Amino acid sequence: MNPLMHKPPHRYLLLLILTAVLFGCDRGHAPTPLINDMRSGQSLEQVKALHELRNAKWETIEKGSHAPDGTDDTFDVLRVATRYRHLEFQGELILEFLNDKLMSTWFYPDDFDRYKASWDLSVAGQPTPLGESLERGQTRIWTLEDFDGRHYAGWEDEALAEERRALLEAYS
DSSP state letters, 75-106: EEEEEEEEEEEETTEEEEEEEEEETTEEEEEE
CA angle 30, 134, 137 (to 5 degrees): 20
Q: What is the mean pLDDT of residues 144-165?
A: 94
Mean pLDDT estimate for the chain = 83
d(CA 172, CA 161): 16
Calculate ∠ Cα 14-17-22, nearest 5°.
Answer: 125
- Alpha carbons 125 and 137: distance in angstroms, whole number: 15
Give the lowest-confidence range in 43-47, 48-52, 144-148, 155-159: 48-52
Please tell me the pTM assigned to this model. Answer: 0.78
pLDDT tier at 117 (50, 70, 90 boundaries)?
very high
Q: 78 - beta bridge partners?
A: 63, 97
pLDDT at position 52: 87
What's the mean pLDDT in 127-156?
95
pLDDT in tens, 31-87: 999 999 999 999 999 999 998 898 999 999 999 876 656 566 677 889 999 999 999
pLDDT interval class at 7 (50, 70, 90)? very low
Angle at 127 between CA 113 and CA 111, to 5 degrees: 10
Q: What CA–CA distances, in Å, run from 129 to 113, 126, 144?
A: 12, 10, 9
